[in-house]
Structure 1
Amino acid sequence: MNFSFGVAKPLYAKARHPRLLIGENDLPALRRLIHGAPGRTLAAAIRKKTEPCVRQILECRDLPALIERNQTCFWPHPQEWFLWTLHDMALLGRLEDRAELVEAVVRVFLALPGLPGKVGGSDQFYYLPPLFIPLAYDLIAEGLPQEDRARFAAWALERYIRPVLAAYRANYLKNAGGNGTIGAMQIALTTLLCITGEPGAPDLAAQREELLQWFEATLHTAIGPDGYPEEDTGYGNVVAGNLALVAEMVRRAGLYDVYRACPRFARYGRSMLHFALPWGDSLMATGDHGDQMRDREFVLARLAVETRDPALLWLLGSLSYAHNRTFIADFMPGFEFEVRLRKGFQAPPTALSLLTLNDMRGAAHPAKVGTPRAFRDRGRGIVSFRSGWDADATLAIFDGSQRSPSGQGHAHDSAGHFSIAALGEYFAIHAARYNIEQNCHNVVLVDGQSGRSTDGEWRMSYYHGLLIAYQPDPFCDFAAVDSSHQHNCYWARRYLGLVKGPGAPAYVWTVEDINKANDWAEFWWQLHTCPENTIALRGAEATITGWRHGNHLDVAFALPDPASFSPAHTLALAQDVATSSSYKYVSPPEHYVSRFARPADMVHGPVFMRPRLLAKVGGYNGRFMALMIPRRKGDQPAQVERLASLDNSLAVRITFRDVEDTLIFAYEHNLLEAGDVKGRGQWCVVRRARRSRRVLARTLGQGTALRAGGRHLAGR
């Protein structure tokens, strides 16, 4: 297919269809495509998906009423799948010359102007009608009588374009990153492109320029400077997928070249690579929906071509949403499924997959093309660290919870939250939708309570966090977050490191620095784990066992020297089952859990109930360290020992079978001294071979000097 800038400009000038994503001259190539593998396989799957929808349309006696009744749903329900498959039906009907498919699509467009609802109704404010409606109309328009085209154009103008402009003109640029406003803009803009030049349609140049301005504002607010979507891997990915469709339409029309004018959008695909679970079948959930990536077959294929990044095709073909588990169990069985196009590569059965099928060739694993293992989005303040690109690698996501005022609606109190996957297990999860407060995230609670309460409602967080450090390193990655606003205390900071390197599994450490109010408090360190994982407590340590392979995550803690405070810090471990903070909105949680075939399916989001590990640290401040060390089933756990160190610092020795790590963290004074390790900096990690005592790796964090065993390692 030809997605070049301005390629469709002559078609708009002559008022010809199709033109939005393809032209009439693309149809012969597509027909050849579906007669050979894998196009034949893909077309057969689209046929299977659309057949019930075709019957539903052709047998319906009151199509306008059916559409009106269901078009305001946020996601398609069985009774309205036909709206979401219109593009599939229209393209397959044209390619296979199947009259019944085209007839079904035509009936919908003849019915739309007869909708009984009021003009400018509430459906304009979300994503419906889906972008597939203008795409479908574009494919069948020239087969309609002139009067029907004029009727549809007049209806579309009064139902969507003018009402959206009137409703959002005063505030769009203040909220250009919010999914609701974006939904209205993209429907109005794509519908305008669809009816431009139609019989009876007025000159829409002024409206087009205004909507294009909104679109450009959205690109710069819905997508962060490094490509990460403002509303995370759920809503944010839905928005990004739709923006990709709009971007290609206006690019073909010669109106705006997103790849030249907005580099951050071109970075979106690479950003999502960093949130793929190590085994590749889904993303880590990071926000107020789930781990979904709708329209990945289009956005990733196009970005792979434009950015020359074949790793994006690996992501496209590795992800799978055949589980139908995002949001609610079995939400769309029979509608969302995957088609195996070749070994290890699948895609959804959609018209968009057909349009990009040729671009799906040449996928390459991220390890093969040298994809970096660390990522940060400077706008959203979110970090991804991983030890490698193999399926057993350790992946740690760390959330700074920076939020844009232009994308309000779905922010969580997630500053300092971490998610961890390792050895094929999902050990520390993000609970996603309906889990807004701190008590639903892997953060520290002060006196067992969230810093800010939503009073049981499902609403956004009003308080932001801040990513204050980001330091990728070959041996130990490091980042830090300030969560003081969300904790509602004097100050709250969390530091996180991912230790990699030879001789030991890659593990995660966190250091807390919380002052509630210059007084004693109990600080509850939390780890929410995947449903069906189990937690075992062993005194001051705990082990989480994954349900996927039976591998483990050992968790240990280090407190300040007992002599540092009177009374000394205390530690008690516990476990419970955590539920949604939006208990007034989703109650009882057991009702929702029962809708899933198995509890672990909830991990795709939202997670209504999950096991939670608690480490309750009492003290005059929340200053302590946690270590999370993956371990294969059957292996012996590493030994964690607190080392004597200078006051106002923490130090541990971690002993593995062949290597030994010394980890020291200093609060404020930068004096790193424990055992035979001496340095000047905020923190350090030194790895040595147990037998030879040879230093194998070391990292000094924000420091000037480091020595071990009398040997100079870094700095002066």
Structure 2
Amino acid sequence: MNLSKGLLAGVSMDELKRRMVTPPYQDYWQHLTRRWREVADWEEQTGRIVNIGSCAGGQVTWLVREAALEHVLTGDRKALDYVGKQIDKLADIVLHHPENWKQREHPYWSESHVCLAADMCRASLDARRLDDLKRMVREKFLEAPFIGWNAHDRYLSGHNMTVTEQVCAGICALTWGEDAGRADWAEVVDRAIESARLYCRYSLDRAGYGFEGTMYAYVPLDTIYLFAQMLLQNGRENLFETIPELKTYPEAIRSLLFPDRIGLTPLADGGILNPKSYAWLLLTARHYHRPEDLGLWYEYRGPGRGADPWPNNNPRCFWPDTGATGPVRRDGWGHNLLPFLWWDAAAPMIPVADSKQPLSRYSPGTELALFRTSWSRDAVYVNFSGQGRGHVALDHAHNDGGHFTIFAHGEYLAIDTGYWNKYEDHHSVPLIEGQGSFNRTGDEPRRWHYAGRLTGFQQHALLDHVMADLAHPRNCVWADRHLLFIRYGDDDAYIVLVDDFNPDHAVHSYQWQLQAHPDSAIRISGPRTAVIEKPKARLEITFLSPLATDFPACPHSLEVRTDFVYGANVKQAGDEVPEDHPVWKSLGAYTRDQAREIKSDLSYTTWYRPRLVAEQKGPNFQLMTVIVPRRTGVPSLAVRDRTAKRVLRADVKGEGFTDTIISARDHGRVTFDDVRGYADLAVIRRDAGGRVVAQWTLGGETLDCR
């Protein structure tokens, strides 16, 4: 008889036994049973405990749920013994010798995993271990020592730690609270539901993008979906219907997908995210009848996808090998267990390459804009940030207003620098006198908590446009950065940035930045041009600056250079921070010599990387930048600087077309022989014969093109 209140509640044991021996489910079964045995043998042989959690929660009981499932389906005694040993491990930490737990983290991930495992094999646990489990649930697991229960009513209502700890407590309460004698177990479940609801409301914008960034939004949502499914299986509230963000979040995730599928675009703290399981996509595909969600799961965890993609150019990771299969990096979070339980192999799916989701998106709130030429692996993809801010949980926010990343033709070229690198000098944004925000008095604090915004989002047959309004976070009279994503050919596009900053009507120096991939090469190819190269693709960059006659009293100067930048978590020369300081100790390698050696772990952060800088000095910051991604071996587009009085102009010539890009930000007056009229920004496309085939202006004006 199935008495489960957890993962197996209401599930047919006969169906699961059929899956054990039936392809394609059989592969997941074989992998999950092999992996928990490898981990069990490794722990026994080494005496080590792997503690790698997330969201300030510890995880030391790897693949205990997998072992429990094998026991309940086969009666395997070694599997039951492994579950028992994990209960013993937690009992030692929580009950008997808490003084030996040297970690800061509350091990709430292990608490929920052990409760789910014990729930599956509750009829087989010996009396001592069952008593220990119930005592831990009664005295410890349903408390929140790290954060406190009232956290969801305060600043932390949108914080990852609050919701993951409380939802894990809710899982423990749902599975064992009543059996353990906690009279308030149902209140703990309800509190977890409320915490999940508030987190989705305040940590995500309405389109499902996380204010805390890709990494810190994903982990809580992964846990909330699991909890939602357990509630549904137990006949309780259907969160799939009552929390609208659970429906929008998958579309946000899909839009953040790098074209080569290596992971999700980094936003705020964190590197390229390869999520823990993606198994919740099986739930959203089912509950919302969305085959595209299932297609994304197939891309990562479908049949034959046993190995993790890993966006890491540095082989040094936190994760020790735990058997022949390698580290318990992702399979420890259920990416074989949950598909075995939840996947319907007969359900319809739409592959990512055939997605009907829009190619361009703007999300108010987080202030993100994303652009791609297609859903193919060869696509050009750009992410652009307006430095949105939520009203709660600001500690993972970055000063990234106007920052862009570029992935093109199989290469990550203009990067997000990842964890700890929160200030403007670690993003592809302009600096003012070498600083992120204009400092009028010399002692003004950085405005990392100030919000920017995106405005003017437009989709046109020729291009997409958006503008970052950064006056508030940059402490300027105005600070505008326009981005144009201009398409041509089958799967090609180029990017135009138009910067227009005025801090205080005085002369300043400005540093335009592009943070490049650690393994890329930057070559200055001319006085105002540069190339960033990787094996499959390159970026060709051209800068256009005002004429000297535009501001004769102080003409604009422009210098293009390259340098190398250390991550914010690398010790500076002469730094006296002790070696055991938690910031240094927790992140791996921190001397400058070490940083130059390892460069980066792109799944987390960068320690050392090349940077392209264009430094302009003048009475304001007016700069047009044309960035053209090209495949290796493919000829360049011809970019011609045709700047005239008070108007920046670039002509971009490709096979069968010539584009004219105009920025007349001073006064909007355009007086070229072949283009006349009024427009702040304009793009005109002509065919090979010179005939105008498309025209776009920022304000919708029509120019006289000849």
State the TM-score, normalized to the length of structure 2.
Answer: 0.86
Worse overlay, 531-540 or 159-168: 159-168
Q: Distance in 2 between matches of 1:353 and 1:503?
A: 36
- Which residue identity does 2:316 align to in structure 1? A
1:536 is aligned to 523
Question: In the alignment, what sits opposite 2:455?
Answer: 468
- Tell me which of 64, 82, 107 is aligned to 2:85: 107
Match of 1:83 among 61, 65, 71: 61
Equivalents in 2 of 1:651, 1:198: separation in Å?
74
Which residue among 367, 380, 391 is the counterpart of 1:394? 380
Secondary structure (helix, strand or coil) at the match of 2:98 reads: coil
What amino acid does structure 1 have at the position aligned with 2:125? L
CA–CA distance in structure 2, aligned partners of residues 678 and 427 of structure 1: 37
> 1:24 & 1:254 partners in 2: Cα distance?
9
Q: What is the alpha-carbon distance in structure 2 between the residues aligned to residue 536 and residue 558 of structure 1?
A: 18
Cα distance in 2 between the residues matched to 1:59 and 1:633: 49
Contact 1:446 1:523 survives alignment (8 Å): yes
- Equivalent runs, 1:56-135 vs 2, <5 Å: 74=54, 83-115=61-93, 116-117=97-98, 128-129=109-110, 131-135=112-116
Q: Name the CA distance, whole Å, in 2 between partners of 1:328 and 1:132.
A: 29
* Other-structure match for 1:40: 26
1:707: which partner in 2? 704
Distance 1:460 1:132 in 2: 41
CA contact (8 A) 1:87 1:133 kept: yes
Contact 2:378 2:491 in 1 (8 A): no
Counterpart-to-counterpart distance in 2, 1:707 and 1:209: 64
CA distance in structure 1 between the partners assigned to 2:190 and 2:56 by the alignment:
31
Aligned to 2:358: 372
Q: Partners in 2 of 1:325 and 1:127 — Cα distance? A: 28
- CA distance in 1 between partners of 2:55 and 2:33 (Å): 21
Match of 2:395 among 409, 424, 439: 409
Residues 141-197 of structure 1: per-residue CA shift (max 9 Å, x gap): 232356754542332232132345982316644321111222221222111112133
- Seq. identity, %: 22
Distance in 2 (alpha carbons) for counterparts of 1:360 and 1:328: 38
Among 177, 197, 200, the residue aligned to 1:219: 200
1:627 is aligned to 2:626:
yes
Aligned position for 2:587: none
TM-score, structure 1 normalization: 0.85
Deviates more, 1:19-28 or 1:121-130: 121-130
Of the three residues 398, 409, 414, the one matched with 1:423 is 409
1:661 equivalent in structure 2:
659
1:131 and 1:242 in contact (8 A); partners too = no
Partner of 2:175: 194
- How many residue pairs get matched? 668
Which whole-Å deviations, capped at 9, do the CAs of 1:194-215 have from their partners, x for residues lacking one? 2133153324233333332222
Change over 3 Å in CA distance of 1:134–1:513 after alignment to 2: farther
Identify the match of residue 583 of structure 1 among 570, 574, 582: 570
Q: Which blocks of at least 5 consecutive residues in structure 2 are unaligned?
A: 301-306, 440-445, 572-582, 585-589
Task: Report SS of the residue matched to 1:243.
Answer: helix
Q: What is the distance in 2 between the residues matched to 1:589 and 1:318?
A: 38
1:266 Cα deviation after fit: 1.0
Is residue 604 of structure 2 the alignment partner of residue 605 of structure 1? Answer: yes
Change in Cα spacing, 1:557 to 1:138, as seen in structure 2 (3 Å) is same
CA 1:127–1:561 in structure 2 vs 1: closer, same or farther (change >3 Å)? farther
Cα distance change on mapping 1:610 and 1:122 into 2, 3 Å: closer
The superposition leaves residues 513-544 of structure 1 with CA deviations (integer Å, 9 ceiling, x where unpaired) of 11233221111111111122111112234443
Structure 1, unaligned runs of 5 or more:
1-10, 340-346, 454-458, 710-716
Change (3 A) 1:504 1:229: closer
- The 1:164/1:119 distance shift into structure 2, 3 A limit, reads farther
1:237 to 218, 221, 224: 218
| Aligned CA distance change for structure 1 residues 502 and 643 (closer, same or farther; 3 Å) | same
After superposing the two structures, state which structure 1 stretch, 664-673 or 233-242, moved more.
664-673
Q: Give the whole-Å Cα distance in 1 for the aligned partners of 2:52 and 2:373.
A: 44
Moved more, 178-187 or 692-701: 692-701
Larger displacement relative to structure 2 (164-173 or 410-419): 164-173
Structure 1 residues 644, 57: CA separation in 2 closer, same or farther (over 3 Å shift)? closer
User: Equivalent residue for 2:579?
Assistant: none
Aligned CA distance change for structure 1 residues 187 and 641 (closer, same or farther; 3 Å): same
Alignment-derived partner of residue 263 in structure 1: 244
Q: Which is worse superposed, 668-677 or 172-181?
A: 668-677
Pair 1:269–1:153, CA change in 2 (3 A):
same
Matched residues in 1 for 2:384 and 2:23: separation?
A: 42
SS at match of 1:468: strand
Contact map agreement 1:436 1:460 (CA 8 A) in 2? no
- Aligned partner of 2:577 in structure 1 is none
Pairwise CA RMSD of aligned residues? 3.3
Instruction: Spell out, residue by residue over 1:391-417, the C-alpha distance to the aligned partner (whole angstroms, 9 max, x if none).
Output: 222111001111213222211111110
Specify the alignment match of 1:185 in structure 2: 166
* Worse-matched range after superposition: 508-517 or 173-182: 173-182
Distance (Å, rounded) in 1 between the aligned partners of 2:691 and 2:289: 42
Secondary structure of the 2:454 match is strand
> Which of the numbers 245, 262, 267 marks the counterpart of 1:286?
267
Residues in 2 aligned to 1:389 and 1:633: alpha-carbon distance in whole angstroms: 21
| Cα distance change of structure 1 residues 209 and 165 upon mapping to structure 2, 3 Å threshold | farther
Separation in 2, partners of 1:43, 1:352: 10
Cα distance change of structure 1 residues 659 and 513 upon mapping to structure 2, 3 Å threshold: same
